[in-house]
């Protein structure tokens, strides 16, 4: 693939010229993930890296809420996203005004917000969480506020899946990930019948019956760690399609089988638009100063929790 190789070397040269790093989510295509990502990982890992990096420019190879999170954590840096249309069905399911109404209805309860939200929602939030730490964050918030239930928004399935793992009560919203909500328990039953020895891993944005039927549930990074550590002969990853492609090269002998769904938002990011992004310094993601200040407290609290 000479064209891909040419683009990768052009991007790597531009990164040095611009003093830029590329933060690539696990759902990027393999040529982005392996070819140009300086840091790759799940939402939590990328947020931590955005806070640590001393580059002047961050290119978010991921979706818009991730770029906003990077800007909130590094307001002095230029944060770019290669395609401004890379959104998320969870982030667009709720607004800051919705959160203000929820707070009026349930005064005194902490608001825990999944990072898959816009900056105006984070500005109304007490602490953020990702799929990697949601149970820990919910329990921390209940302890700190001295309450027995918390608000966990906007992913309805993540909230129910967290509720199944804690005694803390969880009040949910009706947002859904358009990629993970499509998996069904019947998909898993079919895989079990066809491949009885396969291990089935599911992302916590899936419906509860899918989670209950899986062998392991975790964030994208946790799923990759699981496969690298246990090296199952056959594995099903109930998540976005690029996950299996990205990890396959590192685990020879593991066969990846079964259904996956594409995230149309993540798939907007390509080598071509990453090259254009660095060449023309487009498209800059900005967040109003007051939202940065209020949102940072919520994201930083999450990052500062012990592992
Ligand atoms: P994690 O990488 O944090 O598991 O999130 C998955 C996701 O859907 C991000 O958009
Ligand atoms: Fe949003 Fe789901 Fe796509 Fe992640 S996979 S960006 S949660 S729509």
Residue reference for tokens 């994201």 = 299
Q: How far is CA 87 from CA 263, 265, 268, in A?
A: 10, 6, 9
Count of structural domains, the chain: 3
User: Looking at the structure, do residues 244 and 173 belong to the same domain, yes or no?
Assistant: no
305 domain-assigned: no
Domain boundary among 177, 207, 222: 177
Pairwise CA distance, residues 218 & 141, whole Å: 21
Distance 222 CA to ligand 1 centre (A): 11
Domain boundary among 141, 159, 177: 177
Closest-CA residue, ligand 2 atom 2, reads: 177
Distance 156 CA to ligand 2 centre (A): 14
User: Looking at the structure, do residues 95 and 169 belong to the same domain, yes or no?
Assistant: yes
256 domain-assigned: yes
Pairwise CA distance, residues 56 & 70, whole Å: 12
Closest-CA residue, ligand 2 atom 1, reads: 88
Ligand minimally distant from the alpha carbon of residue 88: 2
User: Looking at the structure, do residues 169 and 216 belong to the same domain, yes or no?
Assistant: no
User: Looking at the structure, do residues 71 and 98 belong to the same domain, yes or no?
Assistant: no
Domain boundary among 149, 177, 205: 177
77 domain-assigned: yes
295 domain-assigned: no
**Vertex 199, ends 208 and 249: CA angle to 5°?**
115
User: Looking at the structure, do residues 109 and 55 belong to the same domain, yes or no?
Assistant: no
User: Looking at the structure, do residues 118 and 133 belong to the same domain, yes or no?
Assistant: yes
Closest-CA residue, ligand 1 atom 3, reads: 43
306 domain-assigned: no
pLDDT per position as a tens digit, 24-81: 999 999 999 999 999 999 998 999 999 999 999 999 999 999 999 999 999 999 999 9
Pairwise CA distance, residues 114 & 29, whole Å: 24
252 domain-assigned: yes
Ligand minimally distant from the alpha carbon of residue 237: 1
* pLDDT tens for each residue of the chain, 307 residues long: 789 999 999 999 999 999 999 999 999 999 999 999 999 999 989 999 999 999 999 999 999 999 999 999 999 999 999 999 999 999 999 999 999 999 999 999 999 999 999 999 999 999 999 999 999 999 999 999 999 999 999 999 999 999 999 999 999 999 999 999 999 999 999 999 999 999 999 999 999 999 999 999 999 999 999 999 999 999 999 999 999 999 999 999 999 999 999 999 999 999 999 999 999 999 999 999 999 999 999 999 999 998 7
Among 25, 83, 205, 262, which residue has the most ligand 2 atoms within 8 Å of its CB, making it the best to mutate? 205
User: Looking at the structure, do residues 256 and 228 belong to the same domain, yes or no?
Assistant: yes
Ligand 2 closest atom vs CA 177:
2
Distance 242 CA to ligand 2 centre (A): 13
93 assigned binding-site residue: no
Q: What lines the ligand 2 site, CB under 6 Å?
A: 63, 88-90, 116, 177-179, 205, 240, 263, 265-266
User: Looking at the structure, do residues 82 and 98 belong to the same domain, yes or no?
Assistant: no
Structure ipTM? 0.98
Residue 100, domain extent = 91-177
User: Looking at the structure, do residues 67 and 105 belong to the same domain, yes or no?
Assistant: no
Closest-CA residue, ligand 2 atom 6, reads: 88
pLDDT per position as a tens digit, 205-238: 999 999 999 999 999 999 999 999 999 999 999 9
**Residue 283, C-beta contacts closer than 8 angstroms, at least 6 positions apart:** 80, 81, 82, 83, 84, 277
24 domain-assigned: yes
User: Looking at the structure, do residues 193 and 132 belong to the same domain, yes or no?
Assistant: no
Ligand minimally distant from the alpha carbon of residue 240: 2
Ligand 2 closest atom vs CA 87:
6
231 domain-assigned: yes
Which CATH number characterizes residue 105's domain? 3.40.50.10800
In this structure, what token pair is assigned to residue 202?
Answer: 């599911």
């Amino acid at each position: 693939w000479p064209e891909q190789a040419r683009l990768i070397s052009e991007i790597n040269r531009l990164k040095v010229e611009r003093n830029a790093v590329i933060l690539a989510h696990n759902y990027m295509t393999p040529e982005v993930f392996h070819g140009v990502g300086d840091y790759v990982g799940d939402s939590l890992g990328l947020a931590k890296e955005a806070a640590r990096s001393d580059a002047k420019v961050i290119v978010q190879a991921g979706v818009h809420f991730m770029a906003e999170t990077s800007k909130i954590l590094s307001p002095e840096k230029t944060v770019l996203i290669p395609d401004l249309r890379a959104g998320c069905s969870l982030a667009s399911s709720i607004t800051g005004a919705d959160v203000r109404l929820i707070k009026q209805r349930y005064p005194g309860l902490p608001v825990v917000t999944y990072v898959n939200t816009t900056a105006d929602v984070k500005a109304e939030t007490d602490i953020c969480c990702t799929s990697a730490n949601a149970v820990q964050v919910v329990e921390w918030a209940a302890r700190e506020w001295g309450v027995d239930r918390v608000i966990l928004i906007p992913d309805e399935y993540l909230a129910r899946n967290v509720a199944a793992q804690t005694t803390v009560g969880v009040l949910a919203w009706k947002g859904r990930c358009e990629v993970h909500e499509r998996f069904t328990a019947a998909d898993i039953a079919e895989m079990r019948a066809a491949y009885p020895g396969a291990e089935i891993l599911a992302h916590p944005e899936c419906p509860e019956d899918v989670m209950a039927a899986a062998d392991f549930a975790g964030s994208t990074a946790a799923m990759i760690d699981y496969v690298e550590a246990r090296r199952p002969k056959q594995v099903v990853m109930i998540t976005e399609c690029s996950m299996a492609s990205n990890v396959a090269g590192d685990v020879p002998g593991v066969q990846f089988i079964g259904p996956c769904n594409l995230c149309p938002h993540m798939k907007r990011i390509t080598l071509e638009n990453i090259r254009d992004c660095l060449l023309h310094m487009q498209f800059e993601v900005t967040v109003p100063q007051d939202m940065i200040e209020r949102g940072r407290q919520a994201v930083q609290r999450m990052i500062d929790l012990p592992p």
